[in-house]
Every structure is written in structure tokens, then in C-alpha cells.
């Protein structure tokens, strides 16, 4: 992988017909492939889809073309606010814009680490320790390189949605996010065969992570259940949900579990289970979680009058790295490599440039 740059399809779910950017910093270079103009600092530029063509308007230029590219000046960026209520987003380096499927397609071309710093903030949340962000940076770089051609038919590498990895442009907390990318430069996670791993993560495992095969039916050698005490007193460690008794029994009946059985009204699995069992019938807890929109598969249930009270632990699928456990580990002084090795069994952290050498051997 010689590329140092990455192409990200941004605002990919917005069905954009028109977008307005403000030029921040030392002006910007605008090019329609024939000519190049300069847009000055703090100028506003407007890009519209007019009958499948790009109509570009700024203080000095008004042009129609098939494709336009905007290059930010040194330290500069393009600022956009999609609605008066939404937050201002900043995009750096280069934007390439054309009309695809009768809407604007915007591709942000940037250095890999610029992209990583934005993903770390979007996926990792604000106000945590650097070592936690460094673990997130290595995970997002691993994902990027393992999925580098996911959107190749669309003309870019990844989109900015959770379909790939969330990316909302340049990070607000710029310093720590950029550090997380730079201080882990090139590092990715590989398994014992030197293949990039599927670096799954979730918010809170509830005290024990899950084997991947119990959630996605695909075993991954490095996603093995581990006991995790680090996440126990974090914001997403506990939840409660109340469901009308009727709804609960109707649901169990739909899964061929008899509602008359008193066990259904006092469900205490003790440890983390894969199935909800009643006699010979078993229902995968991942199915129950999805159907009843529960935060996790790790819960007990008891009856309280007309309601069933579900008391649960954790938030998310529970496979791979537990974010809130990692946040706590970083607070306690663990380094990003220790965090990664704690949640992913038997992996190695190496610069991605080494992968080719491993493969030749």
C-alpha cells in the first residue's frame, strides 16, 4: 500500500443538490481542469447541481463544468453548515466535486493521518486520555487498510458513515486527535498469519466480551471472550428496560416458548449466556436483543406488576475492544498496546509497510 492519501466520500447520505462552503485560512485554489482561480480568505463559494453539471459561484468566478476541485491553502480548510441548527464541519486538503446519480458527490482527498484523526474523534468521543485515542487510531487505520477498496466502484475508498467509519471532517479537539494518529504512525493490528484483523469494537461489554461466533456466527481467532472489570462503573455499564408483561409473553410465544412457564417471569442467567433457554427451546440472545431493541444480550428479567423489568449490563455487540473499558485502562495508565492486546487475543501491532514482507516469506 504505497498510497499516503485516502479518498473519502463525505456527506454521502445527504442527497445534496447544493452546498455552500466558507474558505478559511489563506484562500483556496479552485480548478475545473481547464483553469485555476484563487478564492480569497473568508469568501463564500456555492456549488450546485444544474442539470447534471456543476455550477460554481464565488466572489470572483461563475462557471459551469463537469467536475471541480477545491484545494485549501496552507493551514486552511472549507467550512460548511448544512442547516442553521447543525454544527459547523471543517474539511481540509482537497475536495473533488461532481454530479453522480443526479446529486453532488463530494470526495475529500487527504493524508491518511488527517483522516484517522477525524475518525478517532467521531468514533471515540471527546475528553478522554491520549492512550485510548491511540488505540482507536490503530483500529481505524487497520479498518481503512483492510477495507481500502470498499467503495472503489463509487470512485473513493470509504464513505463517512458508520457503513464504513464515521468521519465528520477535521476534529474539533485537534491537538489530541492529531497526536493519536501521529504517535501511532503506520501501525495496524494483524493476526498470527499477518492478516489485518477485523478490529471490532463496542461501547461497553458489561463485564465480559463475546466470542465473535456467538454474535456473527463467524469465529475470529482474536475476538475471544475476556473478563473485563475495567468497564464496570462506566456510563453504559448498566441499563433497565420495562416491557408490558403481555408484550413479553407474546414475544416469547412467537419464539415457541410457552408463556405459562413461571421461569419466564424470573430469568436470571447468572453468567453471560448465548441463548435464552426454556426446556428444549432456545433462542439466540442476539435475536432477542435485536427484536426488543435492547442495549445488550446480557440481562436478567423479573416481573413487577404489569411489567417485566429487564436489568442489563453493557451496550453493544460485545465483540472485540470495549471502548469504556479502554477509556478506563487509559485513565489507569495503561498504554495503547496493552489496551489492544487485552481485548484482541494473540495479535501483533506492526507498521503496515511490513505486511508485504511477511507475505513474501
Q: Which stretch binds Zn ion (CB under 5 A): 93-101, 229-237, 254-262, 283-291?
A: 229-237
Work out how close the CB of 9 gets to Zn ion at its nearest, in angstroms, rounded to a whole number: 7
CB of 161 to Zn ion, least distance (A): 6
Characterize 207-232 residue by residue with b for buried, 16 or more Cβ atoms within 10 angstroms of its Cβ, and e for exposed: bbbbebebbbeeebebbbbeebebbb
Query: Applying CB under 5 A, which of residues 177, 188, 308, 322 lies at the interface with Zn ion?
Result: 322
Q: Tell which one of 21, 99, 325, 347 touches Zn ion (CB under 5 A).
A: 325
Q: Which of 114, 228, 267, 339 binds Zn ion (CB under 5 A)?
A: 228
Contact, 166 vs 9, CB < 8 A? no
User: Are the CB atoms for 224 and 200 separated by under 8 Å?
Assistant: no
Comparing C-alpha atoms, which of 141, 107, 110 is closest to residue 123? 141
User: Does the protein bind Zn ion through residue 164 (CB under 5 A)?
Assistant: yes
Q: Does 200 bind Zn ion (CB under 5 A)?
A: no
Candidate segments 45-53, 96-104, 167-175, 325-333, binder of Zn ion by CB under 5 A: 325-333
Count of residues near Zn ion by CB under 5 A: 8
**Whole-number Å distance between alpha carbons of 223 and 69:** 42
Under rule CB under 5 A, residue 163 binds Zn ion: yes
Among 197, 200, 205, 257, which residue interacts with Zn ion (rule: CB under 5 A)? 205
Strand order in the sheet with 238-244: 238-244, 307-313, 299-304, 266-267
Contacts of 108 (CB under 8 A, 6+ apart): 7, 8, 10, 91, 92, 93, 94, 95, 160, 169
Task: Please report whether residue 135 would count as binding Zn ion according to CB under 5 A.
Answer: no
Candidate segments 19-27, 39-47, 316-324, 333-341, binder of Zn ion by CB under 5 A: 316-324
**Residue 80 in the binding site for Zn ion (CB under 5 A):** no
In whole angstroms, what is the distance from residue 152 CA to residue 103 CA? 18
Site of interaction with Zn ion (CB under 5 A):
159, 163-164, 205, 228, 231, 322, 325
Amino acid at each position: 500500500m504505497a498510497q499516503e492519501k485516502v479518498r473519502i466520500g463525505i456527506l454521502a447520505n445527504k442527497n445534496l443538490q447544493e452546498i455552500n462552503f466558507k474558505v478559511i485560512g489563506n484562500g483556496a485554489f479552485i480548478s475545473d481542469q481547464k483553469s485555476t482561480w484563487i478564492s480569497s480568505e473568508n469568501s463564500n463559494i456555492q456549488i450546485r447541481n444544474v442539470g447534471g453539471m456543476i455550477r460554481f459561484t464565488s466572489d470572483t468566478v461563475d462557471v459551469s463544468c463537469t467536475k471541480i476541485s477545491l484545494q485549501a491553502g496552507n493551514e486552511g480548510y472549507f467550512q460548511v453548515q448544512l442547516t442553521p441548527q447543525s454544527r459547523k464541519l471543517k474539511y481540509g486538503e482537497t475536495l473533488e466535486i461532481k454530479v453522480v446519480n443526479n446529486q453532488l458527490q463530494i470526495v475529500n482527498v487527504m493524508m491518511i493521518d488527517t483522516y484517522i484523526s477525524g475518525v478517532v474523534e467521531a468514533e471515540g468521543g471527546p475528553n478522554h486520555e491520549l492512550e485510548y485515542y491511540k488505540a482507536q487510531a490503530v483500529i481505524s487505520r487497520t479498518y481503512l487498510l483492510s477495507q481500502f477498496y470498499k467503495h472503489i466502484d463509487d470512485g473513493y475508498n470509504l464513505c463517512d458513515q458508520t457503513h464504513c467509519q464515521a468521519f465528520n471532517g477535521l476534529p474539533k479537539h485537534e491537538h489530541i486527535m492529531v497526536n493519536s494518529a501521529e504517535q501511532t504512525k503506520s501501525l495496524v493490528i494483524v493476526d498470527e498469519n499477518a492478516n489485518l484483523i477485523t478490529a471490532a469494537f463496542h461501547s461497553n461489554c458489561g463485564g465480559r466480551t463475546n466470542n465473535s461466533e456467538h454474535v456473527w456466527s463467524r469465529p475470529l481467532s482474536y475476538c475471544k471472550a475476556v473478563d473485563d472489570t475495567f468497564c464496570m462503573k462506566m456510563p453504559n455499564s448498566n441499563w433497565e428496560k420495562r416491557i408490558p408483561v403481555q408484550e413479553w409473553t407474546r414475544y416469547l410465544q412467537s419464539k415457541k416458548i410457552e408463556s405459562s412457564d413461571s421461569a419466564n417471569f424470573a430469568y436470571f442467567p447468572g453468567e453471560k449466556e448465548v441463548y435464552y433457554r426454556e426446556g428444549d427451546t432456545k433462542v439466540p440472545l442476539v435475536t432477542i436483543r435485536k427484536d426488543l431493541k435492547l442495549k445488550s444480550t446480557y440481562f436478567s428479567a423479573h416481573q413487577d406488576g404489569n411489567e417485566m423489568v429487564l436489568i442489563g449490563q453493557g451496550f453493544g455487540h460485545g465483540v472485540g475492544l470495549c471502548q469504556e473499558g479502554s477509556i478506563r485502562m487509559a485513565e489507569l495508565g495503561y498504554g495503547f498496546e496493552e489496551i489492544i492486546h487485552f481485548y484482541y487475543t494473540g495479535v501483533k501491532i506492526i507498521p503496515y509497510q511490513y505486511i508485504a514482507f511477511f507475505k513474501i516469506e
